[in-house]
C-alpha cells in the first residue's frame, strides 16, 4: 500500500467520523469514503466528498421535487436516453471531489482537462516527499514507430535493466541535491546550521517529473465521464489509465445507472462518421464496396474495419 503511517492514521481518523444529513447519500460510496485505493507504486485515489446521485440526474431532467420515479427501470431508461442523445446538463448536477497522489508528469497531462477545480500541493510552501515513480518492467517500452505519442515493444534484458538504473539513480541524486540546496529535511529541520539554504520555490526546479505530487480534484459528473472516456481507453498512456480505471470503480459505486449507460454508449460504443455509416449500410445490403466507393481515407477505412471486426483491407 503506497501510504506512509501518518497518512494511514489520518485516513483512519476520517473514516471514523459520522454525520447526520437530509441530503441524499449513496450507501455503496459511503462504504469507501476517504479510503485510499493504490495506483502505481506510490500513488492513490480516494473520494473525499460528493453531491448527488442517479436520482439527482433524474430530478434535474424532470425538474421535480420528488425522489425520481418509483421504478428504477424508468430512471435507468431516462438516464440512458439523456446520455444517448448528449443531453448533458442533468449530469452536471452531480459533483465529486477526489484526493489524488500522482507523478508530476501524469499531473501535467491530466491538467489539460480544464473542466475541474484543482488545488495542488505547493512545493513553494512545503517540502516534497522523497517518492518517485519507477515503471514496472512490463511497462518499459520503446517509442512507437507509427505513433509519435505512443509506446512500441517492451524493452528487455540489459536494456531494460539499464533504464531502471538510470531512472532510480537520477531520482535519488535529484532528491539528495534538492535536500542539500534546501538545507532542510522533510520535517523542516535544518541540516547544517552554518548556512541558510535555498528558497523552496527555487530548489524544487531540480526535481524530475517522476516525483509525486498531490491534489484535490473536484469535477461534475458530465466532465468526469468525458475524462474517463478518454483516459480509460486502451490508447491512453498506461500511467493515467491506471488512475482512470480506479475512478471507474468509484463511478460504478456512486451512480450505477449512469455507469451502466456510460459503459454501453461511451466505453463500449463508437463514433461513426456519415461515410462509415454508408459503408456499413451498403455492406448489410450485400454490396462488396471499397473505401473509394464511400470516399474514405485509408486510415479511416482501416479504423472502421477494425471497429466492426472486418478484414477488408481496401
Note whether 57 and 92 are within 8 A (CB).
no
Question: Per the structure block, which three cell numbers stand in for 164?
Answer: 531502471
Same-domain pairing of 226 and 107: yes
- Choice among 231, 253, 291, 292 that is catalytic: 231
231 in active site:
yes
Q: Which domain holds residue 195?
A: 140-209
Same-domain pairing of 117 and 168: no
Query: What pLDDT does 313 receive?
Result: 61
Question: Per the structure block, which three cell numbers stand in for 280?
Answer: 456499413
Same-domain pairing of 298 and 251: no
Q: What is the DSSP letter of 131?
A: -
Query: What pLDDT does 172 receive?
Result: 96
Same-domain pairing of 249 and 280: no
Query: What pLDDT does 150 receive?
Result: 61
Grouping H, G, I as helix, E, B as strand and the rest as coil, residue 224 is: helix
Query: What pLDDT does 157 receive?
Result: 85
The domain total for the chain is: 3
Which among 217, 273, 275, 208 has a CA at the least distance from the CA of 250? 217
Confirm whether 226 is domain-assigned: yes
pTM: predicted TM-score of the whole model, two decimal places: 0.88
Same-domain pairing of 151 and 219: no
Q: Among 189, 209, 229, give the residue marking a domain's end.
A: 209
Q: Write phi, then psi, for 105 (nearest 5 degrees).
A: -65, -30
Q: For the chain of 314 residues, list the mean pLDDT of each consecutive stretch of 10.
A: 77 87 90 95 96 93 65 84 93 96 96 93 89 90 61 79 93 94 81 84 92 96 96 92 97 97 91 91 90 91 86 63
Same-domain pairing of 43 and 153: no
For 238-252, give the DSSP string: HHHHHHHHHHHHHHH
Query: What pLDDT does 71 receive?
Result: 64
Confirm whether 65 is domain-assigned: yes
How far apart are the C-alpha atoms of 158 and 218, rounded to whole Å? Answer: 43
Confirm whether 221 is domain-assigned: yes
How far apart are the C-alpha atoms of 191 and 188, rounded to whole Å? Answer: 9
Amino acid at each position: 500500500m503506497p501510504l506512509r503511517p501518518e497518512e494511514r492514521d489520518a485516513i483512519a481518523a476520517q473514516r471514523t467520523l459520522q454525520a447526520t444529513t437530509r441530503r441524499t447519500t449513496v450507501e455503496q460510496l459511503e462504504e469507501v469514503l476517504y479510503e485510499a485505493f493504490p495506483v502505481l507504486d506510490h500513488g492513490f485515489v480516494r473520494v473525499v466528498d460528493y453531491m448527488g446521485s442517479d436520482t439527482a440526474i433524474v430530478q434535474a431532467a424532470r425538474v421535480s421535487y420528488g425522489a425520481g420515479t418509483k421504478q428504477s427501470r424508468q430512471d435507468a431508461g431516462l438516464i440512458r436516453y439523456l446520455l444517448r442523445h448528449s443531453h448533458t446538463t442533468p449530469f452536471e448536477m452531480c459533483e465529486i471531489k477526489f484526493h489524488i497522489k500522482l507523478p508530476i508528469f501524469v499531473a501535467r497531462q491530466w491538467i489539460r482537462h480544464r473542466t475541474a477545480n484543482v488545488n495542488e500541493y505547493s512545493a513553494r510552501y512545503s517540502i516534497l516527499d522523497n517518492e518517485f515513480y519507477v515503471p514496472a518492467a512490463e511497462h518499459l517500452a520503446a517509442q512507437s514507430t507509427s505513433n509519435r505519442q505512443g509506446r512500441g515493444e517492451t524493452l528487455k534484458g540489459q536494456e531494460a535493466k539499464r533504464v531502471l538504473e538510470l531512472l532510480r539513480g537520477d531520482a535519488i541524486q535529484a532528491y539528495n541535491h534538492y535536500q542539500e540546496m534546501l538545507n532542510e529535511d522533510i520535517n523542516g529541520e535544518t541540516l547544517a546550521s552554518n548556512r541558510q539554504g535555498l528558497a523552496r520555490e527555487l530548489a524544487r526546479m531540480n526535481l524530475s517529473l517522476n516525483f509525486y505530487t498531490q491534489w484535490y480534484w473536484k469535477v461534475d459528473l458530465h466532465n468526469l465521464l468525458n475524462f474517463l472516456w478518454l483516459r480509460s481507453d486502451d490508447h491512453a498512456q498506461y500511467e493515467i489509465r491506471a488512475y482512470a480505471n480506479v475512478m471507474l470503480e468509484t463511478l460504478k459505486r456512486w451512480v450505477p445507472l449512469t455507469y451502466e449507460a456510460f459503459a454501453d454508449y461511451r466505453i463500449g460504443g463508437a463514433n461513426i462518421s456519415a461515410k462509415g455509416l454508408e459503408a456499413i449500410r451498403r455492406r448489410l445490403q450485400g454490396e462488396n464496396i471499397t473505401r473509394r466507393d464511400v470516399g474514405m481515407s485509408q486510415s479511416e477505412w482501416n479504423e472502421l474495419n477494425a471497429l466492426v471486426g472486418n478484414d477488408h483491407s481496401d
